[in-house]
Amino acid sequence: MRFLFALILAAAVAGCGFQLRGAASAQLPYKTMFIALPETADVNVWLQRHIKATGSTEIVDEPKAAEAVFQQLGDQRQKSILSINSLGRVREYRLTLTYTFRVITPEGKVLVPPNEITLVRDVTHDDSKVLAKDIEENLLWRDMHTDLVGQIMRRLSVVKPLDPNREDAD
């Protein structure tokens, strides 16, 4: 009876189109891509790893050899005071990462218009644990970059690129 129930459940899940989200879910609509960022930039390193994991898009070294060019338009980090205690000392900080990007052709025509991603994390502060809180803050920044690259990949795979051959009516 249990075997029959498991078999029916497996058939229902397989039949409904359920699939775990993985690297294959972020297939990009471009065959080749150039990432116009410094080689050591965190976003560049993680973005290349994610794109190579999909296997559908090749990263090239020259923008002219690419079908699409990823450009960073803005990368802003901000640390602001969220709350203070009764003595006027900081109790919490808010970390904000705002990143703007677009995708163009090597000729400069826009394929994906500017997209802005804003990530926010709150972190507590304790004067008696400065080193531990500094490490926690650095881990949060790293987590935000990982989340940022995941969101960029999802947006690039979902956004339907504009036709670069179409003339703008504007």
The enclosing domain of 96 has a CATH number of 3.30.160.150
pLDDT tens string 82-124: 999 988 899 999 999 999 999 999 998 998 899 999 999 999 9
pLDDT of residue 165: 63
pTM value is: 0.75
Domain assignment present for 6: no
- Does residue 25 come out as left (phi exceeding 0), alpha (psi in the -120 to 50 range) or beta? alpha
pLDDT of residue 163: 61
pLDDT at 128 over 70: yes
91 assigned to some structural domain: yes
Total count of domains within the chain: 1
- Percent of the chain whose predicted confidence (pLDDT) is above 70: 85
* pLDDT averaged over every residue in the chain: 85
User: Is residue 148 pLDDT above 60, yes or no?
Assistant: yes
Six-digit token pair at 145?
Answer: 């970059």
Residue 99 included in any domain = yes
Instruction: Using alpha carbons, select from 61, 57, 21, 20 the residue that is nearest to residue 37.
Output: 61
- Residue 60 pLDDT grade (very low, low, confident, very high; cuts 50, 70, 90): very high
Q: Which residues of 124-156 are buried (b: 16+ CB within 10 A; e: fewer)?
A: ebeeeeeeebeeebeebbeebbeebbeebbeeb
On whether residue 16 sits in a domain, the answer given is no
Structural domain harbouring 84: 25-158
In the chain, the amino acid numbered 105 is T
Instruction: Indicate whether 8 belongs to any domain.
Output: no
Per the domain annotation, does 114 fall within a domain?
yes
Give domain status of residue 17, yes or no.
no
**Which residues share a beta bridge with 116?**
100
Orientation angle between helical segments 130-158 and 42-54, nearest 10 degrees: 40
CA dist 77 and 7 (Å) reads 51
